[in-house]
Structure 1
Amino acid sequence: MSASPPVNSPAVDTSVVPNGSPRRPATSVVVTGLGVISPLGNTPDELLDALHAGQSGIAAFTLIPTEAFSASHGAEATKFTGHIDDYGPLEKALQRTIRKGSKVMCREIEMGVASAQLALHHGGFNSEVFDRDRIGVLFGSDYIMSLPEEYSAGIAACIEDGKFNFAKWGETGLPKVNPLWLLKYLPNMPASHIAIYNDLRGPNNSLTLREASSGAAIAEATSTILRGHADALVVGATGSRVHPLRTLHASMQEKLAADRENCGEMSRPFDSTRDGSVLGEGAASMLCESREHAEARGAQIYGEVIGYGTSAVGESGGPRPIQIAISNALRATLRSAQNAGHGETPVGHIHAHGLSDVDIDRDEAAAIQDVFGDVSSQPPVTTAKGHFGNLGAGGGMVEIIASLKSLGGDLFPIRNLESLDENCPINAVTTAGTPAGDSFISINVTPQGQASAVWIRKAS
């Protein structure tokens, strides 16, 4: 009988490459493809150009009724119609499959799938250079809410004398609900659809961490590839705050910016006059690979993930849980980079969450100061939310791609930051011409105190 391995012995990856030789552990994870659906356009270049031009994606809502809400403006991804052309170049068979599948995809899922297809195309995905058993999907989202009209016919059938009769629902109401309605809203469906449409048979995972989903997805994807469990992963997130019920929830539970005559001035991150966040929608994806795999196929490399961290701090953690959570996530990111040998890499800039909420902006600024010191020692700090507000779970990934595209060039200033709040001691970028540097750290946090951060540097 063979002896059992020691309890503390390292795990061995027994996967093999097609010729039968053992597969070596990945040395790093790189980004080779980008896909974006946003209020400022549906390509990375459109997004970055709009940010540098100071454009706002905030306008009057067209997708939801506004009579019951405190705000009538937000940032819709108006260029995304759900038409098959929005998914980028596709073979005819895949076009037909996605068209058919769209019947069980709500808008939020459609945006996520479209961003993934755009990233796959941009990254040069094809079955000749990818082992389908070694490429998978890791996707972030929030919980996805059904539209009221899914139940309207069933509810109407149960109305008697102006009141809803619960006793009729089982026999009379429920049969009028589409039997496949749930498939349109399950938060694991973006990863499911993307894998099925492209026959990606590797690791598949879904994370639902609201605004922190993007950074957490990149963290988990990087770990998965470094463990040797995959050669490549489609990593993305999708989200929407523009939804009859979601918008109602937000208006009741969060501090939303009041309507202004110039709606483009509603989102004012870190400004002394800010009064709340603005609701939006969007999605973005990246194709992430081991450096060895990317170089072997001659892929263009846009960036390298060198650090990541997450944290969750509730009210029991102290009076400023969001500050503590962000500080923890930042320190974890710096530690992970140090452990991977990247500790001496300069941080070119920080892409802040920058929600435009009075308390959350204050706590985020305090966390940045806590980790990086006073303004004179901090990297430049920017955020894209002044342009399009809170895109929900997809916002972090849109912001990460904006920062990634900026590396080696100039940063976009924080839109609408006219007077920095004295309670927000950050090295805020307020004018054009600030260098983005060769790396950045992106921060995102939920109102519940879940924070994620990721550190990406320019390809070398």
Structure 2
Amino acid sequence: MERRVVVTGMGMITPVGGDVESSWRALCEGRGGIGPITLFDASTFPTRIAAEAGGFRLADYRSDWARWVDHSRTSQFALAAATIAVEHAGLNEARLDRERFGVYLGSGEGQQDFGRFVDLVNRTSRDGRVDTERFTSLGVRSLHPIREDDQEPGKPAGHLAAVFGAKGPNMTCQTACAASAQAIGEAAELIRRGHVDVMLAGGAHSMIHPLGVTGFILLTAMSTRNDEPARASRPFDRDRDGFVLGEGGGVMVLEELEHARARGATIHGEVVGYGSTADAFRLTDSHDEGRGAIAAMREALDDAGLNPEDVGYINAHGTSTPSNDSIETLAIKRVFGDAASRIPISSTKSMTGHLVSAGGAVEAIACLLVVRDGVIPPTINLENPGPECDLDYVPNQARERRVDAVLSNSFGFGGQNTSLVFRRFAG
């Protein structure tokens, strides 16, 4: 018999809150976290807005914060979110078989140590060319070893393993915007198959730095509504012009059901469905007919043993790009048929911006909170739905409704698609 996977802890850092409850209140109240970029001087960039995790300090979460000051924001978000989740799950007091306790995170490249790097390029350039021998010689002496090392995408997962004593599988998923949702799905599979009993699963990411923002500008993917940052992320709206970059982290404690029961853990929901596919189509756009998204949602529903009408809420990928929102709408219609028009759908990215590799985990936690509280967060800034966007996106105001099963979509650049299904725990 397949082992059941439950959620016993949740932690997140977002642009709208420093923990789960403050973030959740903001989402339910329709409060966004988008404003001018302050983490670097973006005054010459076409996009000068982002959803920063303002006021974030690792010292508010960990007494050993000083040892992490030279590590990236991505690593610090992972540490803070995991610390919250571990405390929430009561794992600090639990007697665990550390060999059966693992980590699976979605992540991406860490922050470039931009100031030192640019200074080094300037010092070793002549007539528009870099003297590579001089660059190497000076770089060894001037670049910061921890900051350079922490750019490697697998570092956050490694940090969590060391801090929390997780000696089981340690894995990093790099499927862009689908990464942390896929990490949750794969972590659940490890538990289902009996390889582990407990997993820290989710993701963390910050790309709000000059190279990160430049990359998305070159892809023409981001909003340029600089004069109205609070209204810039507008999923499914006729006037949407791109996503807004966010940052943060979300981590769940996933646990095998009987293991959780044996230690008296509180159960916040059950992971019952997981689907993962690839469009195999184009770098930045989903397939025109949504084939990968359709397949991922169907796979997740089949895995959960649910019919389309059993789903009470969908947290959409909902990026606010012209392509994603119309194609995701089409895919939902194809999968859910007549039920599509009756299911509330919302995009919390309208408030948090797009947390890239951390987005799926934060949105999965939001789904569990929908089940817990019977409140569906809105899609803010939805004033005039686009012509292809004709479903119920819960515009601008939260809605009270009991929900027992939820589906969360995360679709990444490169055609990655992940859908997760969570259900109210019923014993």
> What is the TM-score normalised by the length of structure 1?
0.86
Aligned partner (choices 282, 285, 294) of residue 327 of structure 1: 294
Contact 2:296 2:418 in 1 (8 A): yes
Aligned partner (choices 379, 382, 385) of residue 414 of structure 1: 379
Secondary structure at the residue paired with 1:373? helix
Secondary structure at the residue paired with 2:61? helix
Contact 1:315 1:321 in 2 (8 A): no
With over 3 angstroms needed to count, the CA separation of the structure-2 counterparts of 1:385 and 1:322, relative to structure 1, is farther
Q: Residue 9 of structure 1 corresponds to which residue in structure 2?
A: none
State the Cα deviation string for residues 53-78 of structure 1 (Å, max 9, x = none). 11110011110211231121110001
CA distance in 2, matches of 1:333, 1:61: 37
Q: Residue 106 of structure 1 corresponds to which residue in structure 2?
A: 72
Aligned pairs for 1:397-412 within 5 A: 397-407=361-371, 408-412=373-377
Q: Residue 18 of structure 2 corresponds to which residue in structure 1?
A: 42
State the Cα deviation string for residues 206-257 of structure 1 (Å, max 9, x = none). 1111110122111111110011111100011012231110001111113221
Q: Residue 380 of structure 1 corresponds to which residue in structure 2?
A: 344
Instruction: State yes or no: 1:207 paired with 2:182.
Output: no
CA distance in 1, matches of 2:387, 2:400: 22
CA distance in 1, matches of 2:122, 2:232: 38
Q: Residue 407 of structure 2 corresponds to which residue in structure 1?
A: 441
Q: Residue 20 of structure 1 corresponds to which residue in structure 2?
A: none
Q: Residue 306 of structure 1 corresponds to which residue in structure 2?
A: 272
CA distance in 2, matches of 1:288, 1:159: 50
Q: 142-151 vs 246-255, which deviates more?
A: 142-151
Instruction: State yes or no: 1:453 paired with 2:419.
Output: yes
CA distance in 1, matches of 2:377, 2:302: 28
CA distance in 1, matches of 2:127, 2:314: 59
Q: 155-164 vs 305-314, which deviates more?
A: 155-164
In structure 1, what residue type is equivalent to 2:201? V
Aligned pairs for 1:32-431 within 5 A: 32-82=8-58, 84-87=59-62, 95-96=63-64, 99-103=66-70, 105-126=71-92, 128-160=94-126, 164-315=130-281, 320=287, 323-338=290-305, 346-374=310-338, 377-407=341-371, 408-430=373-395, 431=397
Contact 1:307 1:336 in 2 (8 A): yes
In structure 2, what residue type is equivalent to 1:328? A
CA distance in 2, matches of 1:348, 1:376: 10
In structure 2, what residue type is equivalent to 1:387? M
In structure 2, what residue type is equivalent to 1:233? M
Secondary structure at the residue paired with 2:295? helix
Contact 1:444 1:451 in 2 (8 A): yes
With over 3 angstroms needed to count, the CA separation of the structure-2 counterparts of 1:108 and 1:349, relative to structure 1, is same
CA distance in 1, matches of 2:308, 2:178: 26
CA distance in 1, matches of 2:336, 2:308: 14
CA distance in 2, matches of 1:177, 1:148: 10
Q: Using the TM superposition, give the Cα deviation of residue 177 of structure 1 relative to its aligned residue in structure 2, in angstroms.
A: 2.0
> What is the TM-score normalised by the length of structure 2?
0.93
Contact 1:256 1:277 in 2 (8 A): yes
Aligned length: 423
CA distance in 2, matches of 1:399, 1:218: 12
Secondary structure at the residue paired with 1:304? strand
With over 3 angstroms needed to count, the CA separation of the structure-2 counterparts of 1:99 and 1:316, relative to structure 1, is closer
State the Cα deviation string for residues 261-289 of structure 1 (Å, max 9, x = none). 43211110001111111111111100000
CA distance in 2, matches of 1:345, 1:199: 42
CA distance in 1, matches of 2:79, 2:288: 34
Q: 345-354 vs 160-169, which deviates more?
A: 160-169
Q: 242-251 vs 255-264, which deviates more?
A: 255-264
Contact 1:106 1:184 in 2 (8 A): yes
Secondary structure at the residue paired with 1:62? coil
Q: Using the TM superposition, give the Cα deviation of residue 166 of structure 1 relative to its aligned residue in structure 2, in angstroms.
A: 3.1
Contact 1:241 1:390 in 2 (8 A): no
With over 3 angstroms needed to count, the CA separation of the structure-2 counterparts of 1:367 and 1:161, relative to structure 1, is closer
Secondary structure at the residue paired with 2:158? helix
With over 3 angstroms needed to count, the CA separation of the structure-2 counterparts of 1:196 and 1:421, relative to structure 1, is same
With over 3 angstroms needed to count, the CA separation of the structure-2 counterparts of 1:199 and 1:71, relative to structure 1, is same
Q: 116-125 vs 373-382, which deviates more?
A: 373-382
Gaps of 5+ in 1: 1-24, 88-94
Contact 1:35 1:119 in 2 (8 A): yes
Q: Using the TM superposition, give the Cα deviation of residue 125 of structure 1 relative to its aligned residue in structure 2, in angstroms.
A: 0.6
CA distance in 2, matches of 1:375, 1:128: 43
Contact 2:237 2:385 in 1 (8 A): yes
Q: What value does the CA root-mean-square deviation take over the aligned residues?
A: 2.3
